[in-house]
Amino acid sequence: MRQNNTYVDRDDVSKALETLQAGGIILYPTDTIWGIGCDATNPEAVEKVFALKGRDQAKSMILLLHNDNQLAGYVNDIPDVAYQLIEVTDRPLTIIYSLAKNLPANVMAADGTVGIRVVDHPFCQQLLQRFRKPIISTSANLSGQPSPRNFMDISPEITDGADYVVQFGQQDTEEREPSMIIKLDPSGKFEFIRK
């Protein structure tokens, strides 16, 4: 399969998919930095991600979707400006939405918000299209440590703790940055959390 002129091994996608379906944790490349992921609708799998990172459960994690049509399944009130922001941004953009729904409590923040990014990445697109549910994406580092800029930066504790490590993108030495984050109010007002 080719997308954006980049070959994605179908077997690699299938192994990641099987791991997600079994409630496991994957280590995978995204449109930003490498992430630790799981089925965002499975609270036990989400617990495993928190445990692997050593992260405080009060800190919510980002979800990835493959297109903006899926947003309505997980957010109650989506202002029109959300679709405009997704379309016009030239950088990966995570939007924090109010009133999340159909998600476990340990995925949402205490105030009911959730951060979602519609991802443009060849491996993620194929995995998400086949999985048909959102995937957790949190930086592939132990809590309090720097985010990995590429696969070589990921600590052995993280790679050893994942049930499946995706092959795609491991040779990519480009240093990547986390996404821009915007908090969006149901009224359509928004503020930058991270530029």
| Residue range 142-153, pLDDT digits in tens | 998 999 989 999
Q: How many of the other CB atoms lie within 10 Å of CB of 58?
A: 7
Integer CA distances (angstroms), 8 to 29, 152, 176, in order: 12, 20, 19
Tokens of 47: 């617990």
Q: How many of the other CB atoms lie within 10 Å of CB of 133?
A: 17
Is 78 in a helix, a strand, or coil? coil
* Per-residue pLDDT, 58: 67
The model's pLDDT over 70-123, given as tens digits with 9 standing for 90+, comes to 999 999 989 999 999 999 988 999 999 998 999 999 999 989 999 999 999 999
Greatest alpha-carbon span in the chain: 44
* CA atoms 29, 95, 127, 41: torsion sign: positive
β-bridge pairing 26-28 and 62-65 = unpaired
The answer to whether residues 123 and 27 touch, using CB atoms and an 8 Å cutoff, is: no
The model's pLDDT over 39-70, given as tens digits with 9 standing for 90+, comes to 999 999 999 999 999 987 767 789 999 999 99
The answer to whether residues 53 and 142 touch, using CB atoms and an 8 Å cutoff, is: yes
Which residues on adjacent β-strands are paired with residue 97? 114
> In the predicted model, is pLDDT for residue 3 greater than 50?
no
Which segments of 42-142 does DSSP mark as H helices, in order?
43-53, 80-88, 122-131
